C-alpha cells in the first residue's frame, strides 16, 4: 500500500462514508470509490460492505484500518521529525570580500541580526576568489562576490551592478565631479588592492587594452591602507563605490563605463536551509540600497 492509499482508506474507515471522506480529502467521490476498489483488488481482501446507502468496515477492513491508522501516525511523527531537523538553526557561514563587507557588514550585524536574532551568522572576511573557494569546499554556505567567474560547482544569483570609483579626498580637484573617464582616473598616482582582488586584475587588463600603464605607488591587501594614503593626499584609489563610507573624508567618483557585477553564490546541488533563504532574501533587498558614495 502506498501512503496515499493508506490516507484514503483511513478517511473512509473513520467516516465510513465515501462522500464525507472525499470532501475531507478534496477529491471527487468517484475517484475515491475507484481507489477503494483498486485497494481491495491489490490486497485480495473485502474491506468494505455496503449497508443501505452507507458502508461499514468488514472484519478484515477493521483489522487493516487499525494497522493503517498506526502506520500513518508513525509517518506523521517521521514527517514532524524531518521538519524539525530542517528548522534547526546552525551557524550560517557567509564569506565576504572587504569591499563588499564595508557596506554589508553594518547591515548584517545591525538590521539582519535585529530582524533575525534566531540566526547565528558567522561572517568570514576573505578575497573574492577565496570566498568562492570556501563555498565550493563547503566551508562557507554563502558568498557575496564582485565579478566572480562562473564555476560549475556554484550557483550565482545576480545583484545590481556597482561602479568602479576613483577614491579621492573631498578637496581633490576632481571631487566635485559626478563621473570621470578611465583616462582621468589612470592619470592619478594610485594605491590599489593587490592582484588577489578581481578589481585590480580587471584594471590592468583595461589599461593594457587602452595602451596605458597605471602609475601604482603601492599595492595592499587592506582597504585601511588605501583610505590612509588617500586621506593624506599621497595617492588616489580605484575601488568599488561601496568601499567608501559616506561619513568619511573621502569621496568615490564613478568611472565612466566601468562596473562590477556582484552576485550571491551558493553550492550547486546542495539543499538550502530556511536560514540561507532568509539571508539571501535580505541581501537582495539590502544591496541596491547600500550607499555608493
**For the segment 198-210, what is each residue's pLDDT rounded down to a tens digit?**
889 899 999 999 9
- Check if the beta carbon of residue 266 is closer than 8 Å to that of residue 155: yes
**Mean pLDDT throughout 47-63?**
89
- pLDDT of 247 reads 73
Structure-model confidence comparison of residues 38 and 243, the more confident one: 38
Distant-in-sequence, close-in-space partners of 198: CB < 8 Å, separation ≥ 6: 128, 129, 145, 146, 147, 148, 260
**Mean pLDDT throughout 28-45?**
93
- pLDDT of 234 reads 95
Q: pLDDT for 88-147, tens place per residue?
A: 556 899 999 888 888 788 889 999 999 999 888 999 998 888 999 999 999 999 999 988
Share of the chain above pLDDT 90, in %: 64
pLDDT at 30 over 70: yes
Distance CA 71, CA 189 (A): 75
pLDDT at 36 over 70: yes
Query: Which of 60-64, 179-183, 245-249, 273-277 has the lowest average pLDDT?
Result: 245-249
265, β-bridge pairs: 143, 156
Structure-model confidence comparison of residues 193 and 99, the more confident one: 193
Distance CA 53, CA 37 (A): 17
- Check if the beta carbon of residue 55 is closer than 8 Å to that of residue 18: yes
Mapped onto helix, strand or coil, the DSSP state of residue 186 is: helix
- pLDDT of 285 reads 86
- Check if the beta carbon of residue 168 is closer than 8 Å to that of residue 244: no
95 burial via Cβ count (<10 Å: 0-12, 13-18, 19+): buried
SS3 sequence of 90-150: CCEEEEECHHHHHHHHHHHHHHHHHHCCCCCEEEEECCHHHHHHHHHCCCCCEEEEECCCC
- Alpha helix (H) residue ranges in 187-243: 198-209, 223-231
**Mean pLDDT throughout 205-223?**
92
- pLDDT of 272 reads 85
Q: pLDDT for 70-91, tens place per residue?
A: 999 998 888 887 766 655 556 8
Structure-model confidence comparison of residues 133 and 249, the more confident one: 133
Rama region for 138: left / alpha / beta (φ>0; ψ in -120 to 50; rest) = left
- Check if the beta carbon of residue 147 is closer than 8 Å to that of residue 261: yes
Mean pLDDT of the chain: 89
Model confidence band, residue 290 (pLDDT cutoffs 50, 70, 90): very low
Residue written as grid cell 536560514: 275
201 burial via Cβ count (<10 Å: 0-12, 13-18, 19+): middle
- pLDDT of 291 reads 45
Residue written as grid cell 568619511: 248
Q: Note the maximum CA span of the chain.
A: 99
- pLDDT of 249 reads 84
Model confidence band, residue 62 (pLDDT cutoffs 50, 70, 90): very high
Q: What is the DSSP string of 231-273?
A: HTTS-EEEEEGGGS-TTSSEEEEEEEEEEE-EEEEEETTPPPP
- Check if the beta carbon of residue 130 is closer than 8 Å to that of residue 101: no
Model confidence band, residue 241 (pLDDT cutoffs 50, 70, 90): confident
Which range among 7-21, 40-54, 236-250 has the greatest average pLDDT?
Answer: 7-21
Share of the chain above pLDDT 70, in %: 95
Mapped onto helix, strand or coil, the DSSP state of residue 49 is: strand
Query: Which of 13-17, 93-97, 289-293 has the lowest average pLDDT?
Result: 289-293
| Domains, the chain | 3-87 (1.10.10.10), 92-160+262-289 (3.40.190.10), 162-259 (3.40.190.10)
Amino acid at each position: 500500500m502506498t501512503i496515499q492509499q493508506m490516507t484514503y482508506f483511513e478517511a473512509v474507515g473513520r467516516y465510513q462514508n465515501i462522500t464525507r471522506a472525499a470532501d475531507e480529502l478534496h477529491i471527487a467521490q468517484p475517484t475515491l470509490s475507484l481507489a477503494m476498489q483498486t485497494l481491495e483488488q491489490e490486497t485480495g481482501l473485502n474491506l468494505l460492505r455496503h449497508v443501505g446507502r452507507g458502508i461499514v468496515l468488514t472484519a478484515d477492513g477493521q483489522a487493516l484500518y487499525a494497522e493503517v491508522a498506526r502506520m500513518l501516525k508513525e509517518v506523521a511523527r517521521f514527517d514532524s521529525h524531518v521538519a524539525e531537523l530542517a528548522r534547526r538553526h546552525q551557524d550560517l557561514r557567509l564569506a565576504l570580500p572587504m569591499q563588499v563587507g564595508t557596506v554589508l557588514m553594518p547591515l548584517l550585524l545591525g538590521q539582519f541580526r535585529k530582524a533575525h536574532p534566531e540566526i547565528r551568522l558567522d561572517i568570514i572576511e576573505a578575497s573574492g576568489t577565496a570566498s568562492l573557494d570556501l563555498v565550493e569546499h563547503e566551508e562557507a554556505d554563502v558568498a557575496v562576490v564582485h565579478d566572480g567567474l562562473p564555476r560549475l560547482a556554484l550557483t550565482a544569483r545576480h545583484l545590481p551592478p556597482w561602479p568602479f570609483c576613483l577614491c579621492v579626498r573631498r578637496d581633490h580637484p576632481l571631487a566635485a565631479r559626478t563621473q570621470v573617464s578611465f583616462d582621468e582616473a589612470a592619470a592619478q598616482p594610485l594605491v590599489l588592492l593587490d592582484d588577489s582582488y578581481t578589481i585590480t586584475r580587471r584594471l590592468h587588463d583595461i589599461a593594457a587594452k587602452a595602451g596605458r600603464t597605471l602609475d601604482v605607488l603601492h599595492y595592499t591587501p587592506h582597504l585601511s591602507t588605501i583610505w590612509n594614503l588617500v586621506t593624506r593626499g599621497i595617492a588616489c584609489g580605484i575601488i568599488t563605490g561601496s568601499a567608501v563610507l559616506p561619513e568619511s573624508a573621502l569621496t568615490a567618483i564613478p568611472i565612466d563605463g566601468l562596473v562590477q557585477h556582484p552576485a550571491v553564490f551558493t553550492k550547486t546541488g546542495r539543499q538550502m536551509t530556511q536560514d540561507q533563504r532568509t539571508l539571501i532574501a535580505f541581501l537582495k533587498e539590502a544591496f541596491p540600497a547600500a550607499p555608493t558614495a
